[in-house]
Structure 1
Amino acid sequence: MNIRATLADKPRPRYLMCNPQHFAVTYSINPWMDPKAWAATGQVLHAKAQQQWDGLHRALIRHGANVDVLVPASGLPDLVFTANAAVVLDGKALLARFRHPERRREEPIYAEGFHALRARGLIDQVIAMPDDVVLEGAGDCLWDARRGLFWMGAGFRSDKRAAGVVDDVFGVACVPLDLADPSFYHLDTALCPLPCGGVIYHPGAFTEEARAAIELRVAPADRIALDIADAELFAANAVCLDRVIVMSSCSAALRETLEQRGYTVVTTLLDAFLRSGGSACCLTLRLDRNSRATAQDAVTGTWATQRQ
């Protein structure tokens, strides 16, 4: 077993993380990654990454999460981004199939980790993607509890036809969204469904057709559009713990918008990971999502009242 529990089992949101012991930028598979810049001050940046990861880990636990930690593996610097490990819902884990060879080496590590979780009773089924279909886990496949569907990013790192696999495995709708800007190469860099029904998103990250798909399903009052400044801070790459939203940073205007909707915004700086194109959501994977649960089950009080 290569996973250890950091908290006793409790009825709390449960996340998977991986310590950044081997995190570095040693190759480039997205526009944020600059191996030469990392190499120039790598030791300092690695220490900063560890400190910032520890801060995120503490913030999640402080706000009620259980966290299981995957043991890192040498030579796999992006293993820290556990959001990419799988799509998880109703006890089923659909393991990722990566596009780039640099990350395909992570697949057996994640598979071993999920089988360990299954042995502990935290996952019921571990399911492999078809060999010829690429889907980079929850980095490109986000559960929207209020609408009872998955949003799925496609184009740069995941295949659009993976939506059909997700639909078949989980028995829920999966809405594919074509991504248009390589800086927002995974869906979780540009979109975040909120428990209240709001959706944080950066319109410029999507094709016109994808924006229309979002607008068809999300009412204008529930669309929280990010400008380029907040988008480049990866403000959409956030972790939602009921009324608490954990992210690296955001503008005062976005904070105010979220607070008006009843959220507490917790910022814990993660800019070391932005050098690899990741932030809070990328560093975590929710393990206990249930398609039968609603935002009202998880949140005391009514969102409608909070938003008036």
Structure 2
Amino acid sequence: MCPPTYFTVEYSINPWMDPSKPVSTELAVAQWTELKETYERLGHKVELIDAQPGLPDMVFAANSGTVIDGRVLGSRFRAPQRAAEADHFRRWFLEHSYRAVVMPTRTNEAEGDFTWTGQLLLAGTGFRTDPAAHAEAQEVLGVPVVSLQLVDPRFYHLDVALFVLDDQAERPQVCYYPEAFSAGSQRVLRRLFPDAVLATATDAECLGLNAVSDGRNVVLPVEATALADRLAERGFEPVFVDISELRKSGGGPKCCTMELRG
């Protein structure tokens, strides 16, 4: 995770961002701190990277690396405003003894568009990540990749349209918002995950799908109450956090969280 020390909205690279609206960095820091402490309270270890001036979106750490079995595929941002973030994260990995670190040649926004189910990597495209980056991820990470087409600009990354509930289960469980995907990708998702939790427009519009699950606890925005009820019916424990200020940049719990696997 990266603290939102310099968080603001000074440009617009997704439909959620409006530089004309006021933003409180102080409130963003408080909400981020609540999220970090929530993870720690649930028993998770949180590693930190220092925020850098001039990079207001660096708080969204999920976009800067994909880690599976200790192998790291870095990111290559589409928006020039975020491009410098990638090298800060690359150096962090090397300084923390990760040796299998590969920087991509194709545009990929890491866990923004790459979601590990425990068996395969779901890979989004349509707004940010280059489709050719999916093949690059398969070569670098050595895992099977399934491409999914995003069609709604509000849900510009895979991680605001889908999340994995349990990547340790024999049959991975996911939750997703069908209308964020093309018709063909919806058919793929139904085939792969016939028992998925399906989100509604209301769930998606508060970034309820930008959630983090550890297989039991699901950390999600406080507004996503109906989705939380459906998750509880499946045996998961919803854990609410307020991300209203961070949402002004189109981010939520998952955007702030890169998962270090192995």
TM over 0.5: yes
RMSD of Structure 2 on Structure 1 (CA): 1.2
Question: Unmatched 5+ residue regions in structure 2?
Answer: none
Query: What amino acid sits opposite 1:103 in the alignment?
Result: R
Q: Which moved more, 1:264-273 or 1:241-250?
A: 241-250
Q: Is the 8 A contact 1:76 1:106 kept in 2?
A: yes
Following the alignment from structure 2 to structure 1, what is the Cα–Cα distance between the partners of residues 233 and 40? Answer: 25
Give the residue type in structure 1 aligned to 2:124: G
Deviation at 1:250, TM superposition (A): 4.4
Partner of 1:103: 82
Q: How does 1:19-58 map to 2 (within 5 A)?
A: 19-38=3-22, 42=23, 45-58=24-37
Aligned match of 1:166? 137
Q: Which runs of 4+ in 1 moved over 6 A?
A: none
**Which of the numbers 211, 214, 217 marks the counterpart of 2:189?**
214
Q: Structure 2: how far apart are the matches of 1:115 and 1:34?
A: 35
CA distance in 2, matches of 1:90, 1:251: 32
Q: Counterpart in 1 of 2:210?
A: 237
Give aligned-pair identity as a percent: 36
Once the two structures are TM-superposed, the CA of residue 128 in structure 1 deviates from its matched residue by 1.1
Contact 1:63–1:241 (8 Å) recurs in 2 = no
Q: TM-score, normalised by structure 2?
A: 0.95
Say if 2:61 is the partner of 1:82.
Answer: yes
Which of residues 35, 44, 48 in structure 2 aligns to 1:65? 44
Describe the superposition over 1:32-90 as per-residue Cα deviations: whole angstroms up to 9, x where unpaired. Answer: 0001113xxx3xx2111111001000000000110011100000001100000111100
**Separation in structure 1 between the aligned mates of residue 79 and residue 225 of structure 2, nearest angstrom:** 37
| 1:27 Cα offset (Å) | 0.5
Q: How far off its partner does 1:249 sit?
A: 2.4
Which of the residues 244, 248, 252 maps onto 1:279?
Answer: 252
The equivalences for 1:134-153 within 5 A come to 134-145=107-118, 148-153=119-124
C-alpha separation in 2, matches of 1:81 and 1:18: 7
In structure 2, the residue matched to 1:267 is 240
Shift of 1:252: 3.7
Q: What secondary structure does 1:283 align onto?
A: coil
- 1: CA distance, partners of 2:12 / 2:40: 32
Q: Which residue of structure 2 lines up, in the alignment, with residue 157 of structure 1? A: 128
